[in-house]
Amino acid sequence: MNSKVSAKFILTNPVHFFSFGFGSGLAPKAPGTFGTLAAIPVYLLLVQVDLWLYALCCVIALFLGIYLCNKTATALKVHDHPGIVWDEIVGFLITMSGFALNWQNILAGFILFRFFDIVKPWPIKWIDQKVSGGLGIMLDDVIAGVFAWCCLYAIVFFTG
């Protein structure tokens, strides 16, 4: 299937609906950015719970994402369709793990995560190219989220 995907295909199947980030992956330009934007309300809900529960939700979202993204990629007959953005949602949630809720952290986390997701420094690019299926779709964004978390931690630590 080509990169054009109908809204009906995505919105009428719960697996594809979640894989496409609640429909945000249907954005005609920069679907990964829109998927990350869709992660902000999810973060705003989760940031209110204890850190252990937040972490558990991230782990569940990761494993659920492996399944969801694999199913959607298989249905679309592609390795990783740009509209599959559940991985961006999980990557952003990882980026924001344990940080105080304020607009500065959200903005910095958003920028850092998008940077690592787009630039794909080693080993992110290698994983993106070599690991297939739902695991491959998810893993590069998980590592981008970890890299972004480390940078955000350093920023918060050194700026107070």
CA neighbor of 152 nearest in space, from 89, 93, 99, 88 = 99
Tens digits of per-residue pLDDT, 51-67?
999 999 999 999 999 99
Residue 80 binned pLDDT confidence (cut-offs 50, 70, 90): confident
Q: Whole domain around residue 91: which residue ranges?
A: 30-159
Residues with Cβ within 8 Å of 136's Cβ and at least 6 positions away in sequence, in order, are 79, 80, 127, 128, 130
Tens digits of per-residue pLDDT, 88-138?
999 999 999 999 999 999 999 999 999 999 999 999 999 988 998 999 999
CA neighbor of 119 nearest in space, from 29, 32, 24 = 32
Q: Give the pLDDT of residue 2.
A: 41
Q: Is the pLDDT of residue 153 over 50?
A: yes
Q: Give the pLDDT of residue 121.
A: 94
- Count of domains forming the chain: 1
Tens digits of per-residue pLDDT, 23-37?
999 999 999 999 999
Tens digits of per-residue pLDDT, 1-17?
345 788 898 989 999 99
**Residue 49 located in a structural domain:** yes
**Residue 7 located in a structural domain:** no
**Residue 1 located in a structural domain:** no
Q: Give the pLDDT of residue 3.
A: 59
pTM of structure: 0.94
Q: Give the pLDDT of residue 158.
A: 94
**Residue 22 located in a structural domain:** no
**Residue 65 located in a structural domain:** yes
Q: Give the pLDDT of residue 1.
A: 38
Dihedral of alpha carbons 67, 72, 75, 81, sign: negative
**Residue 35 located in a structural domain:** yes
**Residue 81 located in a structural domain:** yes
Are the CB atoms for 29 and 93 separated by under 8 Å? Answer: no
What average pLDDT score do residues 68-83 get?
Answer: 93
**Residue 129 located in a structural domain:** yes
